[in-house]
With several copies, the nearest count.
Chain A
Amino acid sequence: MQQSVTEIRRLIARHKFWDYVFAIVGLICLLVGILTLMGLFAQLVADGAPRLKPHFFTSFPSRFPEEAGILSAWVGTILVMLVTAFVAVPLGVAAGVYLEEYAPKNWLTAIIEINVTNLAGVPSIVFGLLALGLFVYQLNFGQSILSAGLTLALLILPIVIVATRESLRAVPGSIREAAYALGATRWQMVSNHVLPYSSSGILTGVIIGLSRAIGETAPVITIGALTFIAFLPHSPVSGQFPFISFEWLKDPFTVMPIQMFNWTSRPEEEFQLNAAAAGVVLLAMTLAMNAVAIFLRYHIRKKVKW
């Protein structure tokens, strides 16, 4: 059945028509997404611009919209993220290493694996409930930086685990075999080779996880962070011995998304500008983190070609 050339050409033209149609539809869909993002950002910037002055970052919230700032909120956010990272990173990386490099194939491992996927799908508000029931009431951490940090750490744990596993998987088996062939133990192999080579990939995952945590509102509301806070938590470094203090862990706090939420619920119209400005800052923080992650990802790809 060798079709005539003209027939084939007609056929191809018809098929290619769908190529073009699809390419255009695809582009449109893409643009909807991208334009929404840009529109969102542009609108926030336009609204928030009058507030985005240095003193916005150095003042506490106030009932006067022009004076109100985000000092307590961004400090709170950073401290909460510190706790989150401190808990989620070791836990997540260790779990990822176990699952990828150690876990024998048995039902327990299977359960852990299914569970990690499942945990990634658990709504964040449910983590908020866990935090309320467990951290705030059972463990008596109260509505503190510690509670919030732990909650968000559990929330991003699956992200860190999955990212770790993926970067570990990218290290070729030949490197593992090479290490073993030289007499390395499993832990030597992991700690001397696999982990260092995948560290930037893991870091990327951690940053993505943290950038998700930074914008989370619901679980933090659940533990009760919607509060007027016009002071800073205790400083983590103190003037006297032992120079490090952990009192801030138990301090009340507020974070960026909460501050933003708070402002949006004010009766005065003017506060909407503050909310927009806080939104810009929050978005900029997230974007910056993502940009770092993207940069890292790009950089690793260029650096190591197995």
Chain B
Amino acid sequence: MSASVQPVLKAESKNLNFYYGDFKALTGISLPVHDKKITALIGPSGCGKSTFLRCFNRMHDLYPGNRYDGEITLNPDGVNILSPKVDPIEVRMRISMVFQKPNPFPKSIFENVAYGLRVRGISKRSVLEEKVEEALTNAAIWNEVKDRLNDLAFNLSGGQQQRLCIARALAIDPEIMLFDEPTSALDPIATANIEELMAELKKRFTILIVTHNMQQAARVSDYTAFLYLGEVVEFNDTKKIFTTPDNPRTEDYITGRFG
């Protein structure tokens, strides 16, 4: 485990601007993402948290009119994943994402987790089985589903579905995992489960999480960035941000004076 004092840089956003058509949603975002740490993005609704997160796996490419400007470099190879020359599919194979609302495919539990592998051309049953078990175990849901891998994923509860989606994202051994408000649709117990799971996962992956719940950010993350109106207002150690923020706006937000 790499809890080194000097954190390794896994990725870095450099002066990133992002446009939804004419609307500039992100302005000059520069932010480091440390390896095997959890970085939380907080800020009021509409400040651009999700927009920023989705730049990391080029989700914006799916819709017309969206435009990136600036860089996100991914280490160790230092490639700029936003470059139009880089195949977004390649990027998505290295960086996976868990969405706000659990969105399993209407397929069996097994096939949900195996899908990412199949897309990579793996179809040998034994390999798939091994990988699926591993991913489900790592997502702390193996025990609950091992006897009904062929059940439809929709039959799981919301919290289970979300863990299934995490397993699906894990199965492809990503370098970074993105979480966009992964617990906002879940009840308190399921939320606690997922938070625990993240603490476990960060030993092996780099995690970027968007949350609207400041307490959650405080509980799970190592670093926190506070975004406001598409700009980074403050980035720092989570402890520092929640105790003695440098910026008065950060403080106002954290203490609930707005948002």
Direct contact of A and B (CB under 8 A): yes
Q: Which of A1-23 contact B (CB under 8 A)?
A: 1-3, 5, 8-9, 11-12, 14-16
**A174, B90: Cβ atoms under 8 Å?**
no
Q: Is the CB of B105 within 8 A of A193?
A: yes
Is B202 in the interface zone, CB < 8 Å from A?
A: no
CB <8 Å contact, B116 and A183: yes
Q: Which residue from B77, B115, B165 sits with its C-beta under 8 Å from A179? A: B115
Q: Judging by beta carbons under 8 Å apart, are A184 and B119 in contact? A: yes
The contact of A11 among B104, B105, B120, by CB within 8 Å, is B120
Assembled-state Cα–Cα distance A3/B93 (Å): 10
- In the assembly, what is the distance between CA of A14 and CA of B169, in Å? 22
A104 at the interface (CB under 8 A from B): yes
Tell me if B99 and A177 are in contact (CB < 8 A). Answer: yes
Residue of A whose beta carbon sits closest to that of B103: A174
The answer to whether A11 and B121 touch across the interface, beta carbons within 8 angstroms, is yes
Q: Pick out which of these stretches binds chain A: B32-40, B57-65, B222-230.
A: B57-65
Q: Count A-B pairs with CB separation below 8 Å.
A: 82
Question: Do A182 and B101 have beta carbons less than 8 Å apart?
Answer: no
- Check B192 for interface membership: any CB of A closer than 8 A: no
CB distance from A302 to the nearest CB of B (A): 12
> Is B168 in the interface zone, CB < 8 Å from A?
yes
Task: Tell me if A's interface is mostly helix, strand, loop or mixed.
Answer: helix
B106 at the interface (CB under 8 A from A): yes
Instruction: For the complex, give the distance between the alpha carbons of A172 and B169 in Å.
Output: 19
Of residues B57, B93, B175, which shows the largest number of chain A Cβ atoms within 10 Å of its Cβ?
Answer: B93
Interface residues on A, range: 20 to 34
B115, A182: Cβ atoms closer than 8 Å: yes
Q: Which residues of A contact B175 (CB under 8 A)?
A: 2
B62→A177 contact, CB < 8 A: yes
Least Cβ–Cβ distance between B41 and chain A, in angstroms: 18
Q: Knowing A9-B90, A181-B169, say if A3 contacts B120 (CB, 8 Å).
A: yes
Asked if residues A183 and B106 are in contact (CB atoms below 8 Å), the reply is no
Shortest beta-carbon distance, B156 to chain A, in Å? 14
Knowing A177-B99, A183-B89, say if A304 contacts B119 (CB, 8 Å): no
Instruction: Report chain A residues within 8 Å CB of B59.
Output: 177, 180-181
Q: A175-B103, A175-B105, A193-B105 are in contact. Are A181 and B90 (CB under 8 A)?
A: no
- 11 further A-B contacts with Cβ under 8 Å, apart from A172-B103, A181-B97, A182-B96, are A1-B131, A174-B99, A174-B101, A178-B99, A178-B103, A182-B115, A182-B119, A183-B89, A185-B89, A185-B119, A192-B115
B contact set with A: CB distance below 8 Å = 57, 59, 62, 64, 77, 87, 89-90, 92-93, 96-97, 99, 101, 103-106, 115-116, 118-121, 131, 154, 165, 168-169, 172-173, 175
| A-B interface, 4 closest residue pairs, ranked by CB to CB distance from nearest | A182-B116, A174-B103, A183-B93, A181-B97
